Structure 1
Amino acid sequence: MAPSHSFHVHASSSHLRWSNAIAPALRVPSGAEVHLDLPDGGGNQITRETAAAGTALSGFRMELADPCVGPVYVEGAEPGDVLKVEILDVTPSAGYAWTAVFPDFGVLKDDEEFQTPVLKIWDLQTAKEDGFIVFRESSPRIVVPFAPFLGVVGLAPEAPGELPTVPPMPETGGNIDTKYVTAGSILYLPVKVPGALLSCGDAHAAQGDGEVCGMAAEMQATTRLRLTVEKNKPWVKSPWVLTAPPPPPGMRKGEGEDKREYMCLGIDSDLREATRKAVRGVVEWLATEKGLTRVDAYMLASVAGNLKMCEVVDMPNYTIGFSIPLSIFVS
């Protein structure tokens, strides 16, 4: 049973590198609930005031992007284990978010028309109540579903040294920018060092699959996570996501669980290899947990699986998701 108390990590415990040498900001028992205060993906460099003054992008320092808060040491976590990260809540802590086009960044970074920096500010004051954020008020009015999630969730890597926070890591996650990591979802990460050393950040109010211009609706946020050490999940060699159940109105009891998906994230500098990693992960899970031969698992994945380009801009690595709908398992 999870402890009755929770723990808090302030945004001042932030870092801009992945390393197993960073001292823990907090130690918690397995099953603990942790609250974290998160700067936005730009390190809070962009504000309403600098946007209004027209100076927000001129002095923007890309090397300060994707700060992570942590790390959190989870007692009992050892290499070979899995850290189960339940996303309990992701809430804006400022009344705005932002999206920008930066020269030489994003899928279309080589196109001449996208070489001028442009900034958009989103109003989040009533986003939770409305269920959407407004892209444009004039006709046709354009709104985007408000779907807050964590862009960065990761564990310390096994190898010594330091890694930047912008590219996702093939095994332990990090800047996966996967929009399915919302409240109600569960992320599973392979533990490589004692204590796991979890850090997170880069909350988004909304994002499309791929995050093609390089930015989502970037926001400051608070998040609540439950961190639990699990054993005997050999297929978890990279991040896995159990998606959140759909909204409850009109749903019969138990129906939500059937509408969830279990998704393996393949991360690699080669797009095809990232895809292969994701598919291999699902094949291993189907063989290990569902009793299929690997050949049958491969065929079922081809017939029932869903492939998603979750992130294609944080070079040198791509994040590709491959999921199986749990509704196919009927007994």
Structure 2
Amino acid sequence: MSGMSPFTYRPARDELAYTFGGREPVARVRSGDTLRVHTEDCFGGLVRGPADLPSRVCQMPYLNPVSGPFFVEDAEPGDTLAIHLVDIEPAREWGVSSTFPHFGALTSTSHTATLQAPLEERVWVYDIDRSAETVRFHATGSDHSVDLPLQPMIGTIGVAPGAFEVRSTIVPDLHGGNLDTPELRAGATLYLGVNVPGALLALGDGHARQGEGEACGVGVEIATVTTLVVEVIEGVSTVWPRIETDRDLMTIGCARPLEDAYRIAHRDLVGWASDLTGLQELDAYQLVSQAGRAPIGNVCDPNYTVLAAVDKSLLPGPSAAYDGAHARLRQHAAGPR
């Protein structure tokens, strides 16, 4: 792997991307390279206070921008791209969240149409204290405030889809995209199947924190400086996105209705656990049924995301996933000792 200094990319506003696929790469990197990527929030930095209602300052479809894409040398269809998130730092001392008239889990939407009045559009500004590692919520209708743990994550990260598809950055699917899971934090390794030469990796939509499900559809949105390491795993395919941490194996399903996303994630985890351990599939199914967890990513986007997770220590001597890519990238990120 490369021992060079991190490659740094800071896009100008007109260089931000709003799709996966259909974009020329902004840079070429190699397997083993470390990237330091500046990302914007889902509003492109235009929502900065209570008066900046997204409907007034933002324009569809220019929401949820990503930085990239990056062409990863030697990545070919049928390979897997491992992306280890080394560090996610808020780029500003504040973050924002909001409600939208026809968006979120608890309001009428275009897909769940009702006669109720649209939800009020409102903006919340959160104070970020990096030294205390807190995010401060301020109620808008009273003087209540409370500090929540600062848990930076990347909401949107993916590669170009296959079959000449171009997908909006708002959509999560096989290629990754707007996965919106708090599990995509520093220390996690994301595995994505490569669909086009160079993979064309892009990322953005940082959150200072997010509750599971992202009920209102908007996390504590922040710009970030995100450091990551990439590695091409040749000749190994990955259909749905997967995550590995020091503790867990996790698989991600993206679909509507929510139960189909649940089924996709759990079917993939049962198969992955069986492949790594030699357990019969029904034994793996039984173990995941009793010991697994199902964190919900989002229930608001064009596809919903559900994860299936299991503690690796509960599996019988599992083989290292992807030939030990997570441990290898983690060690690489730590540098020489």
Q: TM-score range by the shorter chain?
A: 0.7 to 0.9
Q: Give the conservation status (yes or no) of the 8 Å contact 2:125–2:138.
A: no
Aligned to 1:165: 169
Give the SS at the match of 1:283. helix
Aligned match of 1:241 in 240, 243, 266?
Answer: 243
Runs ≥4 residues deviating over 3 A: 55-58, 111-114, 136-141, 231-234
The answer as to 2:14 corresponding to 1:6 is: no
Which among 311, 322, 326 is matched to residue 298 of structure 2? 311
Match of 2:199 among 169, 180, 196: 196
Secondary structure at the residue paired with 1:63? coil
Distance (Å, rounded) in 1 between the aligned partners of 2:152 and 2:86: 12
Q: CA separation in 2, counterparts of 1:41 and 1:205?
A: 12
Is 1:150 equivalent to 2:154 in the alignment?
yes
Query: Is 1:23 paired with 2:24?
Result: yes
Distance (whole Å) between structure 2 residues aligned to residue 208 and residue 39 of structure 1: 20
Residues 188 and 243 in structure 2, CA contact (< 8 A), matched pair in contact too: yes
Q: Secondary structure, in 3 states, of the residue corresponding to 1:130?
A: coil
- String of CA shifts for 1:69-114, please: whole Å, max 9, x gaps: 1000111111111111010111111221000011100001229586
1:230 to 216, 230, 233: 233
Partner SS state of residue 135, structure 1 = strand
2:35 aligned residue: 34
C-alpha contact 1:11 1:39 (8 A) present in aligned 2: no
Alignment check: 8 A CA contact 2:126 2:138 kept: no
User: Is 2:37–2:67's contact at 8 Å kept on the other side of the alignment?
Assistant: yes
Question: Could you tell me whether the CA contact under 8 Å between 1:40 and 1:66 is conserved in 2?
Answer: yes
Where do 5+ consecutive residues of structure 2 fail to align? 109-113, 318-337
Residues 211-256 of structure 1: CA deviation (Å, up to 9, x unaligned): 010100001111111010113545x31111123xxxxxxxxxxxxx
- 1:285 maps to amino acid: W
Given residue 229 of structure 1, which amino acid in structure 2 is its aligned partner?
Answer: V
Structure 2 residue aligned with 1:327, among 296, 303, 313? 313
Alignment of 1:64 onto 2:73: no
The answer for the alignment partner of 2:136 in structure 1 is 134
Q: Give 1:172's aligned amino acid.
A: H
Q: Write the distance in 2 (CA, Å) between the matches of 1:45 and 1:164.
A: 20
**Cα-Cα RMSD:** 1.9
Shift of 1:135: 1.1
Contact in 2 for aligned 1:45/1:56 (Cα 8 Å): no
Number of the residue aligned with 1:298: 285
1:1-49 CA distance string (max 9 Å, x none): 2332321222223211121x4111010110000111111111112124x
Aligned-pair identity in percent equals 32
| Alignment check: 8 A CA contact 1:187 1:240 kept | yes
**Distance (Å, rounded) in 2 between the aligned partners of 1:93 and 1:131:** 14
Deviation readout 1:186-214 (Å, 9 max, x if unpaired) = 11111111111100000000100110101
| Mean CA deviation greater in 26-35 or 320-329 | 320-329
Q: Which moved more, 1:86-95 or 1:132-141?
A: 132-141
Q: CA offsets, 1:140-185, max 9 Å, x none?
A: 652211000100010000121422111112x110100010111111
